[in-house]
Structure 1
Amino acid sequence: MLLYPTSPVVLDGGLASYHGTTLEELFGMDISLKSPLWSAQQILDHPETIVETHLAFMRAGARIILTSTYQGSEETFRKAGYSDFEATNTMLKAIHLANDARTSFLNESDPDVAVKIALSLGPFGASLSPAQEFDGFYPPPYGPIGFSDMKPMYNAFDEDDVEAEQESIHALAQFHLDRLLIFARDPEAWSIIDIIAFETVPLVREVKAIRMAMLSLKETMAAEGVDLAPKPWWITFVLPNGKCPQTQFAGGPHLTVQDLVFAALLWKPSEQTLGLLGAEPTPTGIGINCTSPELISGLAREMSAAVEQLHAPTREAPWLVLYPNGGDIYDLITRSWVLASDDKRHTWALDLKKTIDVEFWDRPGVWAGVVVGGCCRTGPGLIRQLHDELKAS
C-alpha cells in the first residue's frame, strides 16, 4: 500500500509541540503549558490560524500534512473542561480544517498536485500530565507506575509479570481504538483522511497495542455494518538520547531499535485476539519522530538493518518515515529554548537528505519509499530547505 504516489515525499513540520513551534513562532500563539490540549486548543480558539499554518507548510513544499489532533482524546478534553460531545466535534473539526487548507492550496496552485492528509495520533503518554511521550511512565493498567517525583520511576513490568503486561497492552489498545472510532464513525471525516499517523510512541508494548487497535477498529466497524476502507498508516518511535525509553525490566537495559521494528512488523497477537477477520494489521510505514537530528542517521541505519532481517518474498517492504526535531533543546528549568547553532540549522535539511541517500537509494529493496519532514521547532523555512534539497538531487 502506498503512502504517496512518489518518493521521497515531504511531510510538514511542527504544527505545535509540547512547548510550541510553528503556531508560536510564526503566528504568535502562546500554547506552551497553557492547556492540556496544546495545539488542539487552537481548533476552538483560532481555527483560521490552523488553516494558515497548514497552508504555510504546503506552500513550503509539504505534500503530506498532519492534523492538529495529536493530543486529542476524550480524556485530554475532559481535563480542559470540555464534554465528550465537544471533544468529538472538535477533533472532527480538525479534519475539516486540514481539508479546507488543502482545498485552498490546490485552488491557488495546481489542482492536480497530490496532497495527503494524515490523522495525527499521539501516544497514551500525550494524554497525561506531565506528558510522558519521552519516558513512558504510564499508570496502571496502562503501565506499572505513573510518574512521580517522589520515588524511583520505571516503565517495564517484572519479567515474570506476564499477565500485567498483557493487561497493559489491552488497555492501551482500547485507548487507541476509542480515538480511532471517533473518526471512523463519521463517514465524511473518514473519507477526508488519507493516512493514519501514530506518532512519538515510546514503548514496545504500545506499538503492539496500536496494531491490536487497528485490528479491533476493522472488527468493531464490521459489527456495526460498515466495511471500513483500509488506509495506509505508520508508527513512528521516539528515541530520546538515541535509545528506546522502555527497559527490559525495572532498572534493566533499554530495549532496542530492533525490538521496536520487530514489534511493528513481526509480532503476532494471539489467535484469540485475531478474531474472525484474518491476519494482524501491519503498518505501511515505520520510523522516527521528535528525536534529535544528530541521532537520525545512526538510528535509521539500525532500523534498516532490522528491516533487512525480516525480508521475505511474501513481505511487502515498509516505508521509512523520518521527521526529527529542528535541533533546539527545551530547558525545563527556565522554560525556554536553547537554540541550536546556526551551522546546525543550516545543515538540517542537507543532513536529512544524506540519510535518505544512504538508507533508501543505497539500500534498494529495504524500504518501499520515504516520508521525510520535521517535528518540534521545524517551521516552514526548514521544510522549504528540505524540499529544495530533495528537488535538487
Structure 2
Amino acid sequence: MAAARSPSTPSSNVLILDGGLGTTLEDVFHRNISTPLWSAKPVDEEPEVIIAVHLAFLDAGADIVLTSTYQCAFNTFDRAGYARADAERIMLESVRLALEARRRFLARGSGNNGARTPPRVAISLGPYGATLYPAQEFDGFYPPPYGPGARDGADKTNAFPLDTDAGRAQEAAAVDALAAFHLERLVVFAGDAEVWGAVDYLAFETVPLVREVRAIRRAVARLYEMKPGLAAKPWWISTVHPDGHSPEKRADARGGWVTATEVAESVLLGDDEDEATPWAFGVNCTALESLPHILKDAGGVAKRFAELHGRQPWLVMHPNRGDVYIPETQSWKGTSREGTPWAKDVGDIGRVALQSGCWEGIVVGGCCKTGPDEIAGLKQHRFIL
C-alpha cells in the first residue's frame, strides 16, 4: 500500500548517517543520561547540548542526523514522571532541535560541508523493548499483550508457538498491541504540520522481533489511512542481530533462531494489505563481524523485492563500534577499532553490499559508542563505497 506513495529518491547512492547520539552525549559531552528518557533527557534541561551533538555530526560529514527521540514513548515518559502533554511537547521539541541544528549548520556559511545532498533529519523511533526496564531491544522478552512475558526459568521465551491455534491467536493480538504502540507515537509527529513537513525520514531502530516488524508496517499503513493527505516520508526498519543472529527463538516444533533471511522477508516482503512497504531494510547496533552474512542473506530478499515492486530497496547499515558493555560494572570495555580503522572496516562491508547489485543505495553510519571521529572517518573513506 505504501508503494503507491513512493518518496523521492536521494541523488546519491551513498548517504552518511550520524553515530550514537546517546553515547556521544556521554563520551564527548560528558552528560549523565542514565534515565528512562536516555538521549531525550537534555531536551528540556539543556537543549543547546542536543543541538551541539547534531552539529558535531554534521561537521564530521553526516548527511543525515537522527533525532533524540529513540526512547520517547508515553510509557517511558510516565515512568520518568512526565504528564502526557509534556511528553508530546518534548517529543516534538526533540525534532525541532535537530531541525535547528541543520538550520545553524547551513546558516553559518559552511554550505553542506562537501555532502552530496543537503543535510537531512530522520525521526528516530526505538522498539517497544527500549521502553522497558530492564531494556529488551536486544532480547525481545516482552510482557503480555506484546509478548509471552516469560523471561525467567526453563520456560523463558520471546516467541509464541505458531504451530498451535492459541499461539497464532496470541501472536495476532501481540502484533495489534505493538502496532497501537507505534501508531500512538507516529500520530504525535504527524499531528504537527511544521515538524512533519520539515523532516525527511522515519527510522525505526533496533527492532528485535518479526512480529514487531509486522506491527510497525501496520502502524505506518494505519497512519496514512487516518491522514490520507499526509505527505509520505521514506522510512526504514533497522533490525538487530546480537551475537550474529536474530534474538527471536522459535517456540514451536521447528525450534532454532529466526534466520536473517526470515527477518529481511518480514521487513521487505509480504502481501498483507494492512502492512505498508518500507523504503529500506536496515541493520543497526550489530557487530561488524556479523554483518557480511546478514547482508548476504538480506540481499537475496532484496532481489525478490525488486522483482515484485520494480525498484530496488535501499540498505541502511549502522553497526556499533565493537565496545562490550559490562553490566556488573555498568561500564564499557573499549576496542582498538576506533575512528579511521572502524570506518575503513565499515566501508569495506558497505562496498561489498553495494557492489552486489541488490540495493539501490546505502545509508551508512554508526550506533553505540560511535562518535564524530568515526563519522568523519566514513566521510573520508567514502570513495571506497
Do they fold alike, i.e. is TM over 0.5?
Answer: yes
2:349 maps to 1:348 = no
The equivalent position to 2:233 in structure 1, one of 227, 231, 234, is 231
Q: 1:356–1:77: structure 2 CA closer, same or farther, 3 Å change rule?
A: same
Conservation of the 8 A alpha-carbon contact between 1:140 and 1:146: no
Q: Give the alignment of 1:77-88 within 5 angstroms.
A: 77-88=77-88
- Could you give the per-residue CA deviations for residues 246-304 of structure 1, whole angstroms, max 9, x where no partner exists? 122169311011111111111232x6xx3xxxxx4211011100111222222212211
Q: Give the alignment of 1:268-347 within 5 angstroms.
A: 268-269=271-272, 274=274, 280-312=275-307, 314-340=309-335, 342-343=336-337, 346-347=340-341
CA shift for structure 1 position 2 = 4.4
Higher mean C-alpha deviation, range 308-317 or range 112-121? 308-317
Q: 1:250–1:335: structure 2 CA closer, same or farther, 3 Å change rule?
A: farther
- Mapped to 2, the partners of 1:153 and 1:208 lie a distance apart of 23
CA shift for structure 1 position 314 = 3.8
Number of the residue aligned with 1:57: 57
The equivalent position to 1:143 in structure 2, one of 147, 151, 155, is 147
2:355 maps to 1:367 = no
2:127 maps to 1:123 = yes
State the SS of the aligned residue for 1:90: helix
Q: Give the alignment of 1:232-251 within 5 angstroms.
A: 232-249=234-251
CA shift for structure 1 position 327 = 0.9
2:134 maps to 1:163 = no
Structure 1: 5+ residue stretches without partners: 275-279
- Could you give the per-residue CA deviations for residues 171-229 of structure 1, whole angstroms, max 9, x where no partner exists? 0000000000000011111112110000000001111000000010011223xxxx101
Conservation of the 8 A alpha-carbon contact between 1:121 and 1:197: yes
Q: Give 2:102's aligned amino acid.
A: R
CA shift for structure 1 position 119 = 0.3
Number of residue equivalences: 371
- Mapped to 1, the partners of 2:384 and 2:160 lie a distance apart of 49
Q: 1:73–1:9: structure 2 CA closer, same or farther, 3 Å change rule?
A: same
Q: Give 1:72's aligned amino acid.
A: C
Higher mean C-alpha deviation, range 107-116 or range 370-379? 107-116
TM normalised by structure 2 equals 0.92
- Mapped to 2, the partners of 1:139 and 1:389 lie a distance apart of 43
State the SS of the aligned residue for 1:178: helix
Q: Give the alignment of 1:36-51 within 5 angstroms.
A: 36-51=36-51
- Mapped to 2, the partners of 1:296 and 1:392 lie a distance apart of 17
- Mapped to 2, the partners of 1:153 and 1:391 lie a distance apart of 46
Conservation of the 8 A alpha-carbon contact between 1:2 and 1:284: no
Number of the residue aligned with 2:12: 6
Q: 1:381–1:344: structure 2 CA closer, same or farther, 3 Å change rule?
A: closer
- Mapped to 2, the partners of 1:3 and 1:197 lie a distance apart of 16
- Mapped to 1, the partners of 2:137 and 2:295 lie a distance apart of 20
- Mapped to 2, the partners of 1:319 and 1:23 lie a distance apart of 29
- Mapped to 2, the partners of 1:349 and 1:145 lie a distance apart of 39
Q: Give 1:306's aligned amino acid.
A: V
Q: Give 2:284's aligned amino acid.
A: N
The equivalent position to 1:357 in structure 2, one of 306, 329, 351, is 351
Q: Give 2:205's aligned amino acid.
A: E
2:224 maps to 1:212 = no
Number of the residue aligned with 2:370: 378
Number of the residue aligned with 1:277: none
- Mapped to 2, the partners of 1:331 and 1:30 lie a distance apart of 17
Conservation of the 8 A alpha-carbon contact between 2:306 and 2:313: no
Number of the residue aligned with 1:191: 197
Q: 1:392–1:295: structure 2 CA closer, same or farther, 3 Å change rule?
A: closer
- Mapped to 1, the partners of 2:17 and 2:194 lie a distance apart of 23
Structure 2: 5+ residue stretches without partners: 1-6
State the SS of the aligned residue for 1:9: strand
Number of the residue aligned with 1:101: 101
Q: Give 1:266's aligned amino acid.
A: L
- Mapped to 2, the partners of 1:65 and 1:261 lie a distance apart of 24
The equivalent position to 2:138 in structure 1, one of 134, 137, 143, is 134
State the SS of the aligned residue for 1:367: coil
TM normalised by structure 1 equals 0.90
Q: 1:250–1:130: structure 2 CA closer, same or farther, 3 Å change rule?
A: farther
Q: Give 1:115's aligned amino acid.
A: P
- Could you give the per-residue CA deviations for residues 24-58 of structure 1, whole angstroms, max 9, x where no partner exists? 11111011xx3111111111121100000000000
Q: 1:343–1:171: structure 2 CA closer, same or farther, 3 Å change rule?
A: closer
Conservation of the 8 A alpha-carbon contact between 1:9 and 1:371: yes
